[in-house]
Structure formats: C-alpha cells, structure tokens
Chain A
Amino acid sequence: MLLIDKYAYTNKIRCYSPQAKILLACGTIIISRIINNYYFDLLIIILMSVLIVGIAKIPCKAYFKMLLIPLSFLLVSIVAIVISVNDVNYIYCFKLINSYIGITYESFNTGAKLFTTVLSSLTSVYFLILTTPIIDIIKVLKKLKVPSLFIELMVLIYRSIFIFIEEANNIHMAQTMKFGYENKRNSLKSISLLIRNLFLRIFIKHNEMNISLECKLYDGEFKLGD
C-alpha cells in the first residue's frame, strides 16, 4: 500500500540491527554537515545508493522515482536562493523595471553546496526508511526512554493509518466509478464527503476497538514484545 513501508519489510537487510542502521544514517547526515565538502557529499550519495540498490536490493527504478518526489521542492527553493536582487558582480543578470535580477558567484556556490548536501542527507534517510520497518524504529525509541504515552500513540497511529488508507481507497474508487471526480464542483463535493465519512469511521472504529481490547483485559498499557 505505502511503497516505502512495503520495501522496509521486504528488503534484504531488514533483519540487521536497527540501532546500527539508525546510527549509520544519522551519523552520515551529521558528519557531512561538519565536514562540509562537495566530494564527501558525493561519496555519501554513492555509498548510500549502493547500499540501497546493491545490498538491500530495492529496485533501481523505484528508488530513483522516490528520489524525484522531494526534488521539486528542492529546485524551487534553490531558485529562490540562487537568484539575488540588486547585487554586484553578477555572472549573468537582466534588468526588470528598475532593478537587476541575476546570479552571483556567491549565491551560485551556496545553491550548489546546498544541492549536494540535501541529496546526501536525503539518500541517508532513504537508506534508513527503506530498510527499517517502523516497528523496529519504535523499539529503538523505547530503548531510548521516550515517554510511553508517545510510544503508545505512535503504535496506535501506525495501526490506524492502514485502516483508514484502505477505507479511503475503497470510498475513492466507488466515487470515481460514479463520476464523482468528473469536474471541479463534483470533486470538491466528493472529497468532502470522503473526509466526512472517514471522520465518522473514527467513532465507529473507536467503539469496536474498545470492545475488542476490553475482551483482551486491556489495562491501559500496550506491551511491545522485545
């Protein structure tokens, strides 16, 4: 259903210790920040891509498709950083009304550095999320003595995400078959009906979960098996 979640459970290095994977991902992000060097960033990008595609055996095509998702935000933000107004020593500039807009050496450098840094941390995070299931991450958080209320909410939310995704998909399919997304007006109406229905499901599911948990002698605490 969720592509990243699927790969997290089916990759080849799923059974390796989650602590090591988290340490590796966070470590590379922080070290690349401290060293702050183009070549080091490139090294990390290549290393992580090899780990993801070569060792964890995530399909190459899927991995690059996933990398493209955040790239649009990156490009637009970098445009905003690279372009500067009324500066001196431009590489290239043009005049608009009565101010100069263009690219300077400094802004170009900042933009290029940012691009490699973001890509290197992005590949590190992808390594973590594509190889480690959420349950393993939650177990590590528990060992780190994160408040139990937070952990319990995480477990509950993780479970309910999939309940709601399935229902949202069913409703969406039914609506599409009845031409609910034919034009703008209909789409707005359909989407609000969908959200309303999902919202009502919260209450129905809440009652059902209450009953089932009471049958299992639930005393207000979820036990995670370690």
Chain B
Amino acid sequence: MKKRLMMWSVLLLLLVTPQLGHAMHIMEGFLPLKWAIVWAVLSLPFLIAGFKKLSKGLKPEQKMFLGLVGGFAFVLSALKIPSVTGSCSHPTGVGLGAIMFGPTTMTVIGTIVLLFQSLLLAHGGITTLGANVFSMAVVGPLVSFWIYKSLKNKNRGLAVFLAAALGDLATYIITSIQLSIAFPDAAGGFFTSLTKFISIFAVTQLPLAIVEGIITLMVFNLIAEYKKEGVIELEESI
C-alpha cells in the first residue's frame, strides 16, 4: 500500500516536472496581495537606480541597442534548450546580460522583458511582477555580476560558468523563499516550508543551472573570439 503510494507520487512528479523549466516565474494570483506589494516595493529602488544610470547621458543609438538587447533576452527565454534530465527548459540569459552590460542595466531590461513574458507568453503574472523582478532581474544579475567580477582575473572560463550557474540558483532560492514566506508550513513554519519548496524545485533547477552555465560559457567564448578578430565592438559604457 505504502510502496504503491510512493510509486504514484514519484510518477506524478516525473509527469509534471518536464514542463517546469520555465516555471520559476511565480504565476498570476499565487502570492497574497500583501506580499505581492511588499516585493514590488523592494524591487522598486533597484529599478529606479537602473533608470537613473541609464538616463544619464543615454544617446539615441544606445537606446536602440538596449531595445535590441531586450528583444534578444525575451527570445532566449522563449527558446527551448535540451536539458540533462531529458526535458526541455529555457535559458534565462540573465547571467550573460549581467556579465556584458552590468547588473542595474539588466534590472531595467529584465523588468520590461518580464512584463512582456506575462503579456505575450503568460509566464509569470501582472500582480506578481514585483516578486519576479526581485528574483530574476535584481538578485540574479547582482550575484552573477559579483561572482564574475571577483573571479575573472583568476580563471575567466570558470568565472563565466559560475556566474551563470550560481545566478540561476540564486533566482531559484529567492523564489523558494518568496513562496515559503507567503505560505509557511502549518506546523514547522517558514523553514519547513522552505525545505519543501527547495527540494521540490531542485529536481529541475539544479541540472538547469549547470546547462545554463555551460551554454553561457560557450556563447561567451564564441563572442570573445569575434571580439578578438575585431568584427564587433562591445560598448563598455552601457
């Protein structure tokens, strides 16, 4: 009896997880109104800081460049990449963006991209936009950028890989924290609930983070090659 129950629950998990790749966005209506507002207010200062930095001496050409980067990030999130577990998952591209353009720029672009994702793909939601911005466009890029900056002089390849993978993991942990603050376990409270969310999402998110790290590293190397040959010029100022 108990064995059968275990078998069914494992089966259910296997059935549901393949579609979870993109699901680290908290969906519409999932958070209580109070927490939705709290996370929106928390991510607002970062957004304003990003805007301040952007609007200071932003040339029209650079504006266009940012627009193209945003479209690129959106398409990345809509792409299906093959993952280790056999399911399809979606790269966030946040790591690459943070390394290339800096964390605050990614906050502004990430916010707009998340808004488009909820309007065009129904990933994430409008009321939960604040919470998703905090995990994906504030904490993720900050972690990626910080890791890349502190490690790039020792081993550039490792730095890129770790920046992308750990940025992804940071996003997933923050999302778990947001969910467990909103829905603490009836008996064990916040920490029991946190372990539950982290262990359930770890099934897909751990392999995903590694794949994202590998892909970001490959893309970074290809771009670096091009840059060395002088085909493109990255605008460091943005």
Contacts and interface: CB of A to CB of B under 8 A. Distances in A.
B71 A2 contact: no
Nearest to B78: A165
A83 B70 CA distance: 39
A163 to B, nearest CB: 7
Contacts of A30: 33
Contacts, number: 235
A80 B186 contact: no
A107 interface: yes
B125 A83 contact: no
A13 interface: no
A147 interface: yes
B64 A191 contact: no
B81 A118 contact: no
Interface in B19-78: 19-20, 23, 25, 27-30, 32-33, 51, 54-55, 58-61, 63-72, 74-76, 78
A162 B67 CA distance: 12
Contact of A196 (B33, B68, B219): B219
B206 interface: no
A16 interface: no
Contacts of B33: 30, 33
Interface string A163-183: 111001000000000000100
A4 B13 CA distance: 28
Q: Which label, helix, strand, loop or mixed, suits the secondary structure of the B interface?
A: helix
Contacts of B165: none
A206 B12 CA distance: 47
A110 interface: yes
A76 B186 contact: no
B70 A188 contact: no
B209 to A, nearest CB: 15
B7 interface: no
B232 A158 contact: no
Contact of B125 (A120, A125, A152): A125
Contact of A76 (B74, B193, B200): B200
A188 B218 contact: yes
Interface stretch (B115-123, B131-139, B151-159): B115-123
Interface residues of B, number: 80
Given A4-B121, A73-B20, A159 B232 contact: no
A199 interface: yes
B63 A152 contact: yes
A64 interface: no
- What band does the interface of chain A fall in when counting residues whose beta carbon is under 8 Å from B? 35 or more
A163 B70 CA distance: 12
Contact of B196 (A83, A128, A155, A164): A83
Interface of A: 2, 4-5, 26, 29-30, 33, 66, 69-70, 72-77, 79-81, 83-88, 94, 104, 106-107, 110, 114, 117-122, 124-126, 128-129, 134, 137, 147, 149-150, 152-165, 168, 181, 184, 187-189, 191-196, 198-200, 202-203, 205-206, 209-210, 213, 218-220
Given A80-B197, A191-B215, A203-B232, 11 more contacts: A29-B126, A77-B179, A86-B187, A122-B28, A125-B122, A129-B120, A156-B66, A158-B116, A161-B75, A164-B72, A209-B68
29 contacts: A4-B121, A29-B29, A70-B23, A70-B28, A70-B122, A72-B23, A80-B179, A84-B192, A86-B187, A87-B187, A104-B186, A118-B29, A126-B122, A128-B126, A134-B120, A149-B58, A153-B63, A153-B70, A153-B112, A156-B70, A157-B70, A158-B71, A162-B71, A164-B71, A188-B214, A198-B75, A199-B219, A200-B226, A203-B233
